[in-house]
Structure formats: structure tokens, C-alpha cells
């Protein structure tokens, strides 16, 4: 198992000439004048396209947010790294000429995909907020000399990033990092930190996975922690800057994701080939755009993954009052003089109803009039922070909650 990642990387390197050849052939094929384009040529082009795309990328895709509407004005958006560590950057989406708006730290999951998965969330928030995001780096590109990265390190990054935003910013955590976001908030409130959040919004996060466990929760408890260490943790290949760092590889995570809906992914690629063969470029672009993001994978530091499985999903330390940060007990009751919002999706099969709401019961120091809970009907996990219902129903509530508590 220790050599699986190395074998996978060797295979990708050996087959790269085939993909490059297919890509080069496709470029020449596209030089054929449209009037001479024959169905057979288009089918050949479709085949070459699929071959050239048959690889994963370990580079972060672009956010691609060049402008945003603020009121009735379209403002240009530029990306600026405000603070950086080996494991992550605090990325600011700077709007030229924007009025003063509430500062928000959007906390992205450290999962098999990059923070760019939240580009739609960012673009919506940018309308009314000054937005920063936790732009996590791929561990396979981080030399071992920079040390480990565990659950405490993740929480520490949130405290550090919030400190860069100045007094009383706002924090929105999506899914997995809800536990660290609540822990960071509790520690900062206990220390009366000047940059403790003015509001904390937890969206579809696993605060207490004992409540209506999902299949994901059940799987995490079905094996001893040593099974996860022995079967899912691998060494970064020699070809990478992070060689010999222990990680939960992105390609292993992606394999698990794809296997859960294998028929759907096969059908999508068959549809892509048919759209390309028929010259239906717009339909093909929709599928290609989705898989450009989906096949951009990120490894997870082994320590962070194992500690998350153990502390959050197996031992439920936070809701039992046993979670610690750098040796200090995390006390959610210390959260005070701020607003707390929790959001859940009715059809969420990753983080079920009640698991995020549990934060409201833990944070006994928050005044009732500063609490908001919203259960969005008709959406699954991703619908909580992306799509039409996020834009039209959830976001207006979050926007008003932030502005009232600013």
C-alpha cells in the first residue's frame, strides 16, 4: 500500500505522451475548415478529446472571478494573497472602488478538491461583503521540512487568518471545517481576542454526527482508526516536492467519489462524446467545465485526515466537551457577544438534519436574539452553498444576519 501512490504517479507519467499526442492531433484536426467537417472527423475529434482529458490534475484551477455587480455597478475583482503559510494562503478578492462592506472569512473544506469548488459561493458573497477565503495548498507540493499539519494546525490557521482581517470580522464555514471554526471562535472568545468573529455561520457541518448518522458517518465508525491508517494513507511520490510526506491521496478520494455514482459519470462522458461528435459545443462545454474542476484533486495531510476521522466522526469529542486545542479544552459555552447562524439541507446525505443545529445547543453563551437556524427545503449537501436556492433563499438570510450583527 505504501507504494500505491508512487505506482499511480509512474503510470500517469508513462501515459502522458499519449495524452499529449491526442491533444496535438486534436489541434490539427480543428484546423479543418467547418464546411469540410465530416461526421467521421467529428467522432475522431471526440475520441481524441476524451483521451487528452483522461488524467487528473494536481494544480488548483482558477477562480475566474473578474468582476461582480455591487448595487448597480460592475466592479473589477482582483486576487491578492494577504497572508501565506506553507499549507495555505489567505486570499482576498479585492474590489476596486467598492464601498466599505463587512469582512468575511470563507472557510473552505480541506478535502479532495481545492477551495475553487466554492467559486460560486464567493461570487454571491462578493455582492455585499469584502470576501477572503482559506486557499489551502496541496500537501504533495509541500516539502516534509515544513512539518506536520493536523486538526490543531487547521484551527490555528483560522485564528491567524482572522487576526489578519482586523477587529470583529465574520466567519462562514462550509461543511467539514465547521468543527475547527467553532473551536477557533470559542478559543478567541475565551481570550477576548480583538479579531474574534462578530458572527459565525456554520453550513452543513458535522458538529455532532451521532444525530441521524449518514452512510458517510457509519463508514467512519465501521473500521478502527488503524484500518484508515493502513489502507488510505500513502507516501507522496518521489517526483513531487513533498516526496515521502504521508497523505490521503486525492486520486484515492476521487475513486471513492466516482464509484458511488459510477453509472452517472460513465453516462456523462458518453454524453460528452456525443455532443462533441454532433458539434454541440455549448452542451459539451458544460460537462467539460464540471470535470475540469472535479478532476482537479488535492491530497490531504495524513495527520489532519486521521485526526478528523477519529476526533469528529468516531469519538465525537466536540459535543461531549472533550475536544482540545493545543492542550486547552474547547468550551463552546465561551462563545458570546456575537451572532450564530446554522444552515442545513433537507436532503443532505452527507451531513444530516440536526448535526449542524447541535452547535446552537452547545453555544449557551449566545443570546437567543442573536441565533438563527435555517433548514432549506429541497436541497442536498451542495445545494446549501451553491445553486439557485443558495442564491435566492439562503444567501439573503445570511446577508441580513451578517449586516444586522456588524
Q: What is the mean pLDDT of residues 117-129?
A: 96
The last residue of one of the domains, among 298, 329, 359, is 298
Q: What's the pLDDT band for 251 if we cut at 50, 70, 90?
A: confident
Domain of residue 350, CATH code:
3.40.50.1820
Residues with Cβ within 8 Å of residue 8, at least 6 apart in sequence: 237, 249, 251
In a domain, 50, yes or no: yes
Contact of 34 with 264, CB cutoff 8 Å: no
Same domain for 323 and 183? yes
- The Cα 16–Cα 187 span in angstroms is 48
The last residue of one of the domains, among 283, 298, 313, is 298
Same domain for 170 and 313? yes
Range among 9-13, 49-53, 171-175, 288-292 rated most confident: 171-175
In a domain, 284, yes or no: yes
Q: What is the mean pLDDT of residues 292-310?
A: 92
Nearest 5°: CA angle at 386, between 377 and 115? Answer: 140
- The Cα 57–Cα 44 span in angstroms is 24
Residue 351: phi, psi to the nearest 5? -130, 100
Q: Is 45 helix (H, G, I), strand (E, B) or coil?
A: helix
From 401, 399, 405, 398, select the one nearest 376 (Cα to Cα).
398
Same domain for 355 and 331? yes
Q: Check residues 29 and 161 and name the one with the higher pLDDT.
A: 161
Contact of 83 with 121, CB cutoff 8 Å: no
In a domain, 148, yes or no: yes
Which of 220-224, 286-290, 347-351 is predicted with the least confidence, judged by mean pLDDT? 286-290
The mean of the pLDDT values for the chain is: 91
Q: 372-394, pLDDT tens digit by residue?
A: 999 999 999 999 999 999 999 99
From 172, 39, 34, 56, select the one nearest 103 (Cα to Cα).
172
Same domain for 19 and 140? no
Q: Which residue segment(s) compose the domain that 361 sits in? A: 67-218+301-404
Same domain for 30 and 167? no
Same domain for 326 and 376? yes
CA atoms within 13 Å, Cβ hemisphere of 191: 16
Contact of 130 with 104, CB cutoff 8 Å: yes
- The Cα 39–Cα 163 span in angstroms is 59
Can you say whether the dihedral through the CA atoms of 159, 165, 171, 175 is positive or negative? negative
In a domain, 260, yes or no: yes
- The Cα 235–Cα 359 span in angstroms is 36
Same domain for 143 and 258? no
Same domain for 307 and 285? no
Same domain for 278 and 352? no
Q: How many domains does the chain have?
A: 2
What is the pLDDT at residue 37? 57
Contact of 251 with 10, CB cutoff 8 Å: no
Q: 71-110, pLDDT tens digit by residue?
A: 899 999 999 999 999 999 999 999 998 999 999 999 999 9
Contact of 375 with 353, CB cutoff 8 Å: yes
Same domain for 287 and 305? no
Q: Which helix (H) or strand (E) holds 328?
A: strand 328-329
Report in angstroms the alpha-carbon separations of 92 from 60, 87, 159, 246: 16, 17, 16, 30
Contact of 94 with 361, CB cutoff 8 Å: no
Same domain for 192 and 312? yes
Residues with Cβ within 8 Å of residue 102, at least 6 apart in sequence: 128, 129, 130, 169, 170, 198, 402, 403, 406
In a domain, 198, yes or no: yes
Using a 10 angstrom Cβ sphere, with 0-12 exposed, 13-18 middle and 19 or more buried, the burial of residue 109 is buried
- The Cα 229–Cα 223 span in angstroms is 11
Q: Check residues 223 and 270 and name the one with the higher pLDDT.
A: 223
What is the pLDDT at residue 400? 97
Nearest 5°: CA angle at 15, between 12 and 21? Answer: 130
In a domain, 72, yes or no: yes
- Given a cut of 60, whether residue 36 has pLDDT beyond it is no
The last residue of one of the domains, among 265, 298, 331, is 298
First to last CA, the chain: 51
Residue 67: phi, psi to the nearest 5? -155, 165
Same domain for 73 and 50? no
In a domain, 393, yes or no: yes
Q: Is 272 helix (H, G, I), strand (E, B) or coil?
A: helix
In a domain, 226, yes or no: no
Amino acid at each position: 500500500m505504501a507504494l500505491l501512490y508512487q505506482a499511480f504517479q509512474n503510470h500517469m507519467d508513462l501515459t502522458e505522451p499519449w495524452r499529449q499526442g491526442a491533444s496535438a492531433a486534436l489541434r490539427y484536426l480543428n484546423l479543418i475548415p467547418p464546411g469540410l467537417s465530416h461526421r467521421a472527423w467529428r467522432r475522431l475529434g471526440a475520441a481524441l478529446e476524451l483521451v487528452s482529458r483522461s488524467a487528473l490534475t494536481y494544480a488548483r484551477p482558477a477562480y475566474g472571478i473578474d468582476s461582480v455587480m455591487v448595487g448597480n455597478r460592475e466592479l473589477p475583482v482582483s486576487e491578492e494573497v494577504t497572508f501565506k503559510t506553507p499549507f495555505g494562503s489567505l486570499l482576498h478578492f479585492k474590489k476596486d472602488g467598492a464601498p466599505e462592506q463587512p469582512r468575511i472569512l470563507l472557510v473552505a473544506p480541506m478535502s479532495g478538491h481545492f477551495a475553487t469548488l466554492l467559486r460560486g459561493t464567493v461570487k454571491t458573497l462578493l455582492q455585499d461583503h469584502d470576501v477572503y477565503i482559506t486557499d489551502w495548498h496541496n500537501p504533495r507540493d509541500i516539502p516534509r521540512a515544513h512539518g506536520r499539519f493536523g486538526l490543531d494546525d487547521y484551527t490555528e490557521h483560522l485564528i491567524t487568518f482572522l487576526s489578519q482581517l482586523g477587529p470583529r470580522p465574520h466567519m462562514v464555514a462550509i461543511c467539514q471545517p465547521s468543527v475547527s471554526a467553532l473551536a477557533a471562535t470559542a478559543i478567541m472568545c475565551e481570550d477576548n481576542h480583538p479579531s474574534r468573529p462578530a458572527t459565525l455561520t456554520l453550513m452543513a457541518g458535522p458538529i455532532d454526527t451521532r444525530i441521524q448518522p449518514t452512510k458517510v458517518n457509519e463508514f467512519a465508525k465501521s473500521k478502527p482508526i488503524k484500518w484508515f491508517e493502513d489502507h488510505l494513507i500513502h507516501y507522496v511520490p518521489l517526483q513531487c516536492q513533498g516526496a515521502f510526506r504521508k497523505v490521503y491521496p486525492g486520486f484515492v478520494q476521487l475513486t471513492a467519489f466516482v464509484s458511488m455514482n459510477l453509472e452517472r459519470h460513465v453516462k456523462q462522458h458518453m454524453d460528452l462524446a456525443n455532443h462533441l461528435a454532433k458539434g454541440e459545443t455549448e452542451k459539451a462545454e458544460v460537462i467539460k467545465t464540471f470535470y475540469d474542476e472535479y478532476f482537479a484533486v488535492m491530497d490531504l495531510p495524513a495527520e489532519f485526515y486521521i485526526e478528523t476521522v477519529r476526533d469528529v466522526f468516531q469519538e465525537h469529542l466536540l459535543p461531549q466537551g472533550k475536544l482540545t486545542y493545543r492542550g486547552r479544552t474547547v468550551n463552546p459555552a465561551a462563545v458570546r457577544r456575537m451572532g450564530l447562524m446554522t444552515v442545513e439541507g433537507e436532503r443532505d446525505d452527507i451531513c444530516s438534519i440536526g448535526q449542524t443545529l447541535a452547535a446552537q445547543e452547545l453555544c449557551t453563551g449566545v443570546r437567543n436574539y442573536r441565533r438563527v437556524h435555517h433548514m432549506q427545503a429541497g436541497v442536498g449537501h451542495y445545494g446549501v452553498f451553491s445553486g439557485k436556492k443558495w442564491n435566492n433563499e439562503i444567501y439573503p438570510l445570511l446577508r441580513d444576519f451578517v449586516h444586522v450583527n456588524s
